[in-house]
Chains A and B, each alone.
Chain A
Amino acid sequence: MALIGSIEEIGITDILQLLALSQKTGILAVRNERNEEVGVLYFKEGRIAYGRLKAQNMKERLLQENRIQRMQLRKIEGGMEEGESFENALLRSKLVDVLDMRKYLREYAEDTIFFLCGQRTGTFQFERRVLPINPDLTLFLKTDSLIIESSRRIDEWTRIKEKLPPTDTVLELTPPHKRWRERNLKSSEAILLSLVEQGKSLREIYKVLGEDFTTAKTLQSLLEMRVVQVASPARGRDHLIKGRKYLLQGEMGKALELLEQAVEEGVERKDAHLFLGDLLLRQRNFQKALQEYETAKRIDPQNPTVLSRLGYCYAKLGQISQAISCWENFMLLPFDSSIKERTEKVLKEARIFQRYLDETLPIPAVKTVKKNLKEILKDINRQNGVLGSMAINDTGLVLEKAIPDSDRVEEAAAFSASFLLLAMRSLLLLKMGNLERAVLDKGDWRIHLFKVDPYILVILTGSEIHLELQMSTFQRIFNEIERPIRK
């Protein structure tokens, strides 16, 4: 017979204690007031054997914590046998071993208990059943210590919630932390900062991440460390918020009017331009949308949404090489999402199309737009963070330089050439193909070495710019290099 009751009458903590004391084996399901299942706990002889939350399944959790990537997840799902659990399939894939899997399951079960103990309304139902889980993965957690920890968390959570701003508040990054992507952050912090950067309100953030202890604690620590702050009610902000609301409701006329007003009123936020771009994109006005996204990109050059949509606009306007460049920069950003997979496919097709266009030029080329070495080095030196650059050949001879004169230039050139030779040998031994570029990073400065046949380009930079963006910028400049004709 099942044990059924209302949480308002008997709290989850009491139920857990009861099941522990009577050493029950079975499944406890908890539902909210709308009768939707919110979480499940499996018990084996009074101890917790497994836990699962409705709001976040194991797959989402592993993805969010960067423990597996979306591509790997698809592969695992594709190879799942009928009736097999995801956990078993993951183990079989050998991406994780039993010990790691038990660690993940333990964390997941603990979070499930902490979440369920915080429920104040809804119902529970316990049924004696044989547990449908792999015995190797069955946990054996004592409930007492978890209940104490859960009470501590609930107290702390209540205290944190009192300190946090109201849910309609919008946060913004404080100026010293605008380049947060270049830092090593915890996954939960990185996701939260990305939402803050998108101008989402606390309510919207809770909707994405769940209004739980972890989210509240992360928010509190970011506010305390002054990484984020409550956004100041800048002029035009009201128009921006209302405009976005109309945009989401599909009332384009009103949205356009308000967003344009927000921009005119000097809202120095990329969001106004981003939303305006979105609106124009929906109206299929690609030229104007492109201008808005370009402005948004100037404010925030590493914003994935802006880069992805900018690429789309360029592609729609037939400017394939610019589209490719935007998508390449987008792909370099360190995050994992399904949009990235889609973009990778589109990018591949765009590259093929671009090559086809290049190869089938209907009239003979009469004018070259290529630049000589001197111009290329000048272009490189104009980039942020570049201290100097030079072009050498395979033997280390300096062909052109844009670097302060020093007796170390020739020494550095000789070193670069011999180092590249060793690097090429290593990659070939490891079957990793021809070397394309190398970077030596000392923490405060970097040396970039690019093989741009027949030259080797050596660039000395500071380390304040994101490494991947720096490399892609240089690569783009090299595409314009004039090469000697080989006889």
Chain B
Amino acid sequence: MSIEEVLKEIHYTPGVRGSFVIGRDGSVKGAYLSPDQSQKETAATISSMAKEIEESAGKLESGKAMVTYLFGKNGNLFFVASESLILAILTERHANLGIVRHTLRDGFKRLLRGKE
């Protein structure tokens, strides 16, 4: 499945505002975002966060990918990172966390399978 197809499928999940795939160098590989959201800067920040997590928390245990949930006053940002890419999803503040978590994991698996 291509990055565009995965992002499109994620976009149909209730409560999802946008999603994007970022390379580990911080470059945007694919995005489904509204034009007012600054892609490049956000991608770079998320990539640094993933690096920070890997360097610190990641040392504790290797293997499973770490899922990060950030809850803001007006919306949420969830992302999951592998060695080669990061999948991030933006949601409404009250989006159903269970459904979005499932979408994130499922989308990430598809992306990794697509890369193989």
Which residues from chain A sit less than 8 Å from chain B, CB to CB?
66-69, 72, 95-96, 100, 181, 184, 331-332, 334, 336, 411-412, 415, 418-419, 422-423, 425-427, 429-445, 447, 467-468
Known interface pairs A96-B12, A334-B98, A415-B52; A426-B46 also in contact (CB < 8 Å): yes
Our pick among B12, B41, B67, B77 for the contact of A427 (Cβ within 8 Å) is B77
Our pick among B36, B49, B90 for the contact of A422 (Cβ within 8 Å) is B49
Whether the Cβ atoms of A422 and B52 lie closer than 8 Å is yes
Which residues from chain B sit less than 8 Å from chain A, CB to CB?
12, 14-15, 36-38, 41-42, 45-46, 48-49, 52-53, 56-57, 60-61, 64, 66-77, 90, 94, 96-99, 101-102
Whether the Cβ atoms of B73 and A436 lie closer than 8 Å is yes
A-B interface, 5 closest residue pairs, ranked by CB to CB distance from nearest: A433-B73, A334-B98, A432-B72, A433-B74, A415-B56
A-B contact pairs, 16 of them (CB 8 A): A96-B12, A100-B12, A334-B96, A334-B98, A336-B14, A419-B52, A423-B70, A426-B70, A429-B45, A430-B42, A430-B77, A431-B37, A432-B77, A439-B71, A440-B66, A441-B68
Whether the Cβ atoms of A435 and B97 lie closer than 8 Å is no
CB distance from A205 to the nearest CB of B (A): 23
CB distance from A332 to the nearest CB of B (A): 8
Q: Which residues of A contact B75 (CB under 8 A)?
A: 427, 430-433
Q: Which residues of B contact A66 (CB under 8 A)?
A: 14, 99
Our pick among A411, A432, A467 for the contact of B73 (Cβ within 8 Å) is A432
Please measure, in the bound complex, the distance between the C-alpha atom of A418 and the C-alpha atom of B56, giving whole angstroms. 11
Please measure, in the bound complex, the distance between the C-alpha atom of A445 and the C-alpha atom of B52, giving whole angstroms. 18
Whether the Cβ atoms of A467 and B97 lie closer than 8 Å is yes
Please measure, in the bound complex, the distance between the C-alpha atom of A382 and the C-alpha atom of B28, giving whole angstroms. 43
Q: Which residues of A contact B76 (CB under 8 A)?
A: 432
A100, A332, A423, A447: most-surrounded residue (chain B CB, <10 A):
A423
Please measure, in the bound complex, the distance between the C-alpha atom of A432 and the C-alpha atom of B46, giving whole angstroms. 14
Known interface pairs A432-B75, A442-B57; A422-B45 also in contact (CB < 8 Å): yes
Q: Which residues of B contact A412 (CB under 8 A)?
A: 56
Besides A336-B14, A467-B69, 5 other A-B contacts (C-beta < 8 A): A72-B14, A423-B70, A431-B37, A433-B74, A438-B69
Q: Which residues of A contact B77 (CB under 8 A)?
A: 426-427, 430, 432
CB distance from A406 to the nearest CB of B (A): 11
Whether the Cβ atoms of A69 and B14 lie closer than 8 Å is yes
Q: Which residues of B contact A100 (CB under 8 A)?
A: 12
CB distance from B43 to the nearest CB of A (A): 10
Whether the Cβ atoms of A447 and B57 lie closer than 8 Å is yes
Whether the Cβ atoms of A336 and B96 lie closer than 8 Å is yes
Whether the Cβ atoms of B73 and A440 lie closer than 8 Å is no
Whether the Cβ atoms of A442 and B61 lie closer than 8 Å is yes
Please measure, in the bound complex, the distance between the C-alpha atom of A438 and the C-alpha atom of B49, giving whole angstroms. 12
Whether the Cβ atoms of A418 and B52 lie closer than 8 Å is yes
Q: Which residues of B contact A467 (CB under 8 A)?
A: 69, 97, 101
Please measure, in the bound complex, the distance between the C-alpha atom of A100 and the C-alpha atom of B67, giving whole angstroms. 29
Please measure, in the bound complex, the distance between the C-alpha atom of A484 and the C-alpha atom of B53, giving whole angstroms. 31
Q: Which residues of A contact B60 (CB under 8 A)?
A: 442
Whether the Cβ atoms of A441 and B99 lie closer than 8 Å is no
Q: Which residues of A contact B64 (CB under 8 A)?
A: 442-444
CB-CB nearest in chain A for B62: A442
